[in-house]
Amino acid sequence: MLMKIKYIIYILIFISITIFFIGCSQNSNKNILSSINNSKNNSQPSQKTYPDWFWKMPSSENTVYAVGYSTASQYHRDESDNNAIEDGIKNLAIYKSVFIDAESKSIRGNDMSLLYDKQIEQVSPETEESIRKNYQVQKKIRFPDKTIVLIKLGKDDESEPEASEGLTSIPLEPKWVSVLPKEPNYLYAVGLFKSSFREVDSWKIAEKKARILLAFTVEAKTKGMNMAVDYQSIIVSDIKTSAYLSDIQVVERWKDEELNICYVLVKMKDPTGVLWKGTKKQ
């Protein structure tokens, strides 16, 4: 009987020791995994977004600014830089002077859905040639998958573009996403596009939509339509425009990360010199 009791005691002691060591081993493994994860988090910097000059563009009454985009690979960085500059030159020419021939069969208000039969932008060879002779790349930022440059009309010197750092977060949602700014003698428009696989394409499409809306605004004011190209009204169901736009400025950009939509705000001096119908002079 005594031997059986001793045997049972030995078994209980053995089980207790085994459970103790298993618990210690599990805690040790958890600590090791936690240490590894913390090390990974500390060694990986937070993902950078675009630089401040991309979100809020420089502005001047004496010149025009534009952004050039290019996809990139780590093996052809110089080629990516050159492609971004080439894209910037073409965009600069568009913002300096462009003829827009467009037709929309439907433009809605709140979701800004635009359905075009055609949307043609033409830049004269003379305009593009003059831009190529007189531009300067001011800033540049490289990402693993793209290169973006800030380019302006006019050359100050022969200095190399400044390398920029991206911000750690996207700016807060600006007011103009829902309500267009109002400024005497200026027209504003917002273009937006749901981001595609290549985000640089989404920004370019959003910019083009904003320019088309500027052209529609000029057409509406010229013909005395009682409408406003903004987010608060249903605009028109069918409109055509053939308009020359010049000295367009990209004011700001913003991205809704939750909905994955790129927004671009543009403005230009009002070439019509007329007020909307029903608007009184201040």
pLDDT band at 68 (very low <50, low <70, confident <90, very high): very high
Average pLDDT, the chain: 78
Residues 216, 239 contacting (CB under 8 angstroms)? yes
Paired tokens of 139: 């800033």
SS3 193: strand
- 58-67, 105-114, 248-257: the lowest-pLDDT one: 105-114
pLDDT of amino acid 39: 41
Please state the pTM of the whole predicted model: 0.74
User: Which strands make up the sheet holding 239-246, listed edge to edge?
Assistant: 114-122, 97-107, 239-246
Instruction: Say yes or no to pLDDT of 124 above 60.
Output: yes
Mean pLDDT of 224-252: 70
Whether 276 shows a pLDDT value over 90: the answer reads: no
Q: How far apart are the first and last CA of the chain?
A: 110
In 3-state terms the chain splits into helix, strand, coil percentages (rounded to 5) of 35, 30, 35
Residue spans of the domains in the chain: they are 52-269
At 280 the pLDDT is 46
DSSP code at position 176: G
3-state secondary structure 68-113: EEEECCCCCHHHHHHHHHHHHHHHHHHHHEEEEEEEEEEECCCCCC
Q: 9-49 pLDDT, tens per residue? A: 544 444 454 444 444 444 444 443 344 344 434 444 445 68
